[in-house]
Amino acid sequence: MAPFLDEARMDSEDSIAALDSRQTLRALATAGAQVREAVDLSLEAGIDRVAGGERPRSVLVASLGGSAVVCDVLDLLAEPGSPVPVSVRRNVPLPGWVGPLDLVIAVSLSGRAAGPLALAAEAARRGASLLTVGAAHSPLAEVSAQARGVHIDSGRGRTSSRTAMWSMLAPALLGAGRLGIVDVDEQVLHATADRLDEVAEACRPSSESFVNPAKVLAADVAAGVPMVLGDGPLAGVAAGRAASMLARTARMPATTGELPDDAAQVVACFDGPFTASFGGGEEGAVGAGRPVDDIFADPYLDGPPAPRLSLVVLRDAPPQEPSTPEQAAAVGLTDAVVRGARDAGATVSEVTAQPGAPVTRLAGLMATTDFAATYLAIGLGLDPAVSPHVADLADRTGRGDR
């Protein structure tokens, strides 16, 4: 049975105030301001001094948990044209090839996450250059200072790595941009901040459910079993972030995929028990052999209908120039997957990026799904920032959003 989503909660100021104890929606709305503040803090900290102002032999990026998206975005943006290799590491050990000619970017909102902290400390011991992002006066900041690296303060009032993503991502992108590893500078980041402001305005709490894109998406996802699909590498990173936010914020387990590699994996699910075309199962089993929307089903005799598949398709912006054969084939593949999902009776939602630089397009996709996951939590009657089970895990192991 699909979970019950009370859409009235998403439109009610009182319900939002009661459930959103740590003002997650407000924090997400500050994403544009986070980018602008991060640019200022990076310049004040001497971002031009990263790696002595010289291009390193290689770059290793260390972040995990709620900060893990920093690794994913840097890897994505560097891949097309970086003159040096960029690799990702979540935890120790530091690869043996890292040495004085390399740069390590370590990110942790608290400045205490064990993995990035240990990697930064070992990189410093080997004489590698350091760029660190996190709380001021933290162990990570101390490691950077001792190694004569560059440390960027994560800013004021940042309490969750999930909602402070841009405070950590923007300095890392700016530093990599200074070294020619990614095509990002202050102008691109300010345009990204403007895009984040536009999404925040469209997804504001006072915008009613039938016109608010994030609330509409939340209602669609709540209808069944979510699967988030990106139509290429950029949207694939956004899909990974969306699945993480759905699980961590809305407590909805979600699978994720990226085209073209995961096309067969996604389409195979259209034959499964969460679509109207399902006809398997043992005779007499609940839901076996009958469509999800069977109007003749008796809820007392047959039981509640099975939840349907909710496919969320994240699309990159269409090319402004005439598309290449490869781009046309990619669009055709995405369209075919969407048609197959609809034919199978799945709920299909599409979010398309607006034109701009890659990081700007990515920002719009991620911001929309961030808001959707938060509204979904509120509609389900959950606090988007507080999970008793996560709190219990943190008490037992010391692990949480870092």
Checking if the pLDDT of 72 tops 60, the result is yes
Q: Is the pLDDT of residue 97 over 70?
A: yes
For 232, list phi and psi in degrees, rounded to 5: 175, -175
Ramachandran sector of residue 108 (left: φ over 0; alpha: ψ -120 to 50; beta: rest): beta
For residue 68, the number of C-alpha atoms closer than 13 Å in the C-beta half-sphere is 17
Q: Please determine whether the domains at 7-21+203-392 and 28-194 fall in the same fold group of CATH.
A: yes
Q: What is the mean pLDDT of the chain?
A: 90
7-21+203-392 homologous superfamily: Glucose-6-phosphate isomerase like protein; domain 1 (3.40.50.10490)
d(CA 76, CA 74): 5
Query: What does residue 46 show for φ and ψ, rounded to 5 degrees?
Result: 85, 50
User: What number of residues does the chain have?
Assistant: 402
In what side-by-side order are the strands of the sheet with 224-230? 255-258, 224-230, 308-315, 347-352
pLDDT value, residue 367? 98
Check residue 159 and give its pLDDT.
Answer: 82
**Model confidence pLDDT, tens digit, residues 290-335:** 445 566 666 666 666 667 899 999 999 988 777 788 889 999 999 9
Kindly state the percentage of the chain with pLDDT values over 70.
91
Residues 6+ apart with CB under 8 A from 253: 226, 246, 247
pLDDT by residue (tens digit) across 189-222?
A: 999 999 999 999 999 999 999 999 999 999 999 9
Domain 28-194 CATH class label: alpha beta
Task: Give the domain ranges of the chain.
Answer: 7-21+203-392, 28-194
137 CB-near residues (< 8 Å, 6+ apart): none
pLDDT at 294: 60
pLDDT in tens, 32-49: 999 999 999 999 999 999
